[in-house]
């Protein structure tokens, strides 16, 4: 397969001439006419080499190089700075921000070809002899759990937060609890954090800007031991759910930051959830024991299975939030649902009210309560699956 070279330059003549010359040498060429477009293409296409101009109007080459080097996806891609600047200080700056080589315009085609060949050869040699530390870091991917429901108001956020707290209680490992519906945030209020913009800022930026470091800095530590990514409460932010690529990149970054990542995906199957669910290690659907919800949930499970997801990786949690004789029994729920129920939660409104007052998950404030024990038991089941994945 031909090696791919991405050229980032606002000069149309340079893009055309250099691209044609390298194409004749057998390379596959991709082009971007500004820094932002170049960053997005670099992350999406993962080129073997980047030819980068320095003088560009929206974002200069130095800033592009800095961002490329901060992103794990483009951390090791060779960068050849290609510019009209000839001052020594300019070259030094180029190397300081991560450039591997530097050429000044105009340059002879033979010289450019030689530099390109040398950089690609060095890169190929590094891939054959990978650094053990870097390799180990890139191989780490946490156990990602998506929690959702067929309709709203079934306690998805409550189940997600208490499951996350239960897993942390059992493992004392890093656990991230991420709320993924912008404009409908509730955990910030429940846990005592106001006006949270972590998720909003990640979704508003470009895909290339969602680096591991930026995601890590967006997490809020909670005294329960969890790390939180909180959604905003501003209803207008719900439009950000259209940023599907940002969501996919965000999940990939989160999975490198903790052993467990619990995602509150809200209700239904919007486009971003359809893309995220295949990235999860398992999926949890929250249900209540009433006929209408069961029918909707049955359809939801069918829709998820249509995404080529194994039904065995879908766990159903029967969340009995209120004491009512109208609630169906477990056996009836399973029969009508056509799917087994992995856990049943006993109504405990007083416990959850106290947890809200204490700004913490229920399993933290009353770990011996029956419902808390049910959460902990469910967490134990998940831990067993995590060991065998």
Shared domain check, 164 and 303: yes
Res 240: pLDDT? 94
The per-residue b/e assignment along 237-263, b for 16 or more CB within 10 angstroms, e otherwise, is beebbebeebbbbbbbbbbbbbbbbbb
What digits encode the pLDDT tens for the residues 18-52? 999 999 999 999 999 999 999 999 988 889 999 99
Res 136: pLDDT? 39
Is residue 370 within 8 Å of residue 350, measured between CB atoms? no
Phi, psi of 31, rounded to the nearest 5 degrees: -130, 150
* Cβ atoms within 10 Å of 373's Cβ, excluding its own: 15
Res 134: pLDDT? 39
Shared domain check, 188 and 118: no
Shared domain check, 107 and 20: yes
Res 325: pLDDT? 67
**DSSP H helices in the chain:** 12-24, 35-45, 61-70, 88-96, 109-128, 132-139, 156-171, 187-190, 198-204, 212-217, 244-254, 271-276, 291-305, 330-337, 349-357, 362-365, 370-388
The count of domains in the chain is 2
Shared domain check, 307 and 177: yes
What are all long-range contacts of 82-85, with beta carbons under 8 Å and residues at least 24 apart?
82/9, 82/14, 82/18, 82/51, 82/52, 82/53, 82/107, 82/112, 83/53, 83/54, 83/55, 84/54, 84/55, 85/54, 85/55
Strands of 343-345's sheet in order across: 220-221, 227-229, 175-179, 260-267, 143-149, 282-287, 314-319, 343-345
Res 125: pLDDT? 72
Residues written for the chain: 389
Domain C-terminal end among 106, 135, 164: 135
What digits encode the pLDDT tens for the residues 165-190? 999 999 999 999 999 999 988 888 88
Shared domain check, 146 and 124: no
What CATH number corresponds to the domain at position 372? Answer: 3.40.50.300
Is residue 169 within 8 Å of residue 219, measured between CB atoms? no
Provide the β-strand partners of residue 103: 82
Is residue 40 within 8 Å of residue 207, measured between CB atoms? yes
Domain C-terminal end among 103, 120, 135: 135
Provide the β-strand partners of residue 49: 5
- Closest Cα to residue 177, out of 221, 130, 111? 221
Domain extent at residue 90: 4-135
Shared domain check, 209 and 89: no
- Checking if the pLDDT of 193 tops 90, the result is no
**Alpha-carbon span 114 to 344, nearest angstrom:** 66
Shared domain check, 237 and 149: yes
Average pLDDT in the 143-149 region? Answer: 97
Shared domain check, 346 and 201: yes
What CATH number corresponds to the domain at position 112? Answer: 3.40.50.2300
Report the predicted TM-score, pTM, of the whole model to 2 decimal places.
0.66
Shared domain check, 145 and 131: no
Q: What percent of the chain has pLDDT over 70?
A: 93
Shared domain check, 238 and 148: yes
Shared domain check, 184 and 131: no
Domain C-terminal end among 101, 117, 135: 135
At 197 the three-state DSSP class reads coil
Shared domain check, 186 and 127: no
Average pLDDT in the 337-357 region? Answer: 91
Q: What percent of the chain has pLDDT over 90?
A: 61
Which is more confidently placed, 68 or 92? 68
**Alpha-carbon span 232 to 47, nearest angstrom:** 35
Q: Is the peptide bond before 120 cis (omega within 30 degrees of 0)?
A: no
Largest CA distance in the chain: 83
Strand 175-179 vs strand 227-229: parallel, antiparallel, or unpaired? parallel
């Amino acid at each position: 397969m031909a090696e791919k070279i991405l050229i980032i330059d606002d000069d149309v003549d340079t893009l055309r001439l250099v691209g044609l010359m390298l194409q004749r040498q057998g390379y596959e060429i991709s082009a971007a006419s500004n820094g932002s477009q170049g960053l997005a293409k670099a992350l999406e296409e993962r080129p073997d080499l980047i030819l980068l101009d320095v003088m560009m109007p929206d974002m200069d080459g130095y800033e592009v190089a800095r961002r490329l080097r901060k992103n794990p996806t483009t951390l090791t891609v060779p960068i050849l700075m290609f510019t009209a600047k000839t001052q020594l200080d300019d070259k030094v700056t180029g190397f300081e921000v991560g450039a591997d080589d530097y050429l000044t315009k105009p340059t002879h085609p033979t010289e450019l070809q030689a530099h390109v060949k040398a950089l690609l050869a060095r890169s190929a040699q590094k891939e054959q002899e990978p650094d053990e530390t870097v390799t180990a870091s890139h191989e780490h991917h946490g156990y990602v759990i998506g929690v959702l429901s067929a309709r709203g108001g079934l306690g998805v956020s409550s189940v997600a937060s208490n499951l996350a707290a239960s897993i942390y209680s059992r493992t004392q490992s890093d656990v991230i609890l991420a709320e993924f519906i912008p404009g409908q945030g509730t955990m910030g209020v429940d846990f005592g954090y106001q006006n949270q913009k972590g998720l909003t800022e990640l979704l508003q930026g470009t895909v290339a800007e969602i680096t591991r470091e930026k995601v890590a800095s967006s997490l809020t530590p909670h005294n329960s031991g969890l790390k939180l990514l909180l959604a905003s409460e501003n209803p207008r932010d719900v439009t950000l759910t259209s940023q599907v690529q940002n969501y996919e990149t965000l999940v990939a970054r989160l999975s490198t930051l903790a052993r467990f990542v619990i995602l509150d995906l809200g209700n239904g199957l919007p486009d971003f959830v359809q893309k995220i669910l295949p990235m999860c290690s398992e999926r949890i659907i929250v249900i209540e024991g009433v006929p209408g919800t069961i029918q909707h949930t049955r359809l939801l499970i069918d829709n998820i299975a249509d995404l080529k997801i194994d039904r065995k990786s879908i766990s159903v949690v029967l969340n009995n939030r209120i004491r009512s004789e109208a609630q169906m029994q477990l056996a009836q729920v399973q029969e009508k649902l056509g799917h087994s129920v992995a856990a049943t939660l006993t109504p405990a409104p007083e416990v959850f009210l106290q947890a809200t007052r204490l700004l913490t998950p229920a399993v933290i404030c009353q770990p011996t309560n029956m419902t808390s024990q049910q959460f902990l038991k469910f967490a134990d089941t998940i831990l067993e699956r995590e060991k065998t994945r």
